[in-house]
Amino acid sequence: MGLARLAKQAEEADTSELGPGLIAFTIVVLLAVATFFLLRSMMHHIGKVPPTFDSDTTDDPSGRDVG
């Protein structure tokens, strides 16, 4: 009896409207995709950073030791 009632309610439901659940799910998926691409880009840029910033050359154009 309960299954027949659920089937009848499903037939009567208007499927032309988007419910809040579907809209929220779509937003969450879009945020997840954006986060994936952001993290991928960040890892690419972090990979370009040298392991240390120590160098034997000076940044002073005159060649004098500033430190």
Tell me the pLDDT tens digit for each residue of 4-46.
777 777 666 666 666 788 889 999 999 999 999 999 999 999 9
CB 58 within 8 A of CB 66: yes
Q: Is the pTM of this model over 0.85?
A: no
Rounded to a whole number of angstroms, the distance between the first and last alpha carbons of the chain is 86
Note the pLDDT of residue 44.
96
Dihedral sign of CA atoms 24, 36, 38, 34 in order:
negative
Question: How many angstroms separate the CA atoms of 32 and 24, rounded?
Answer: 12
Give the contacts of 55 (CB within 8 A, at least 6 positions apart). Answer: none
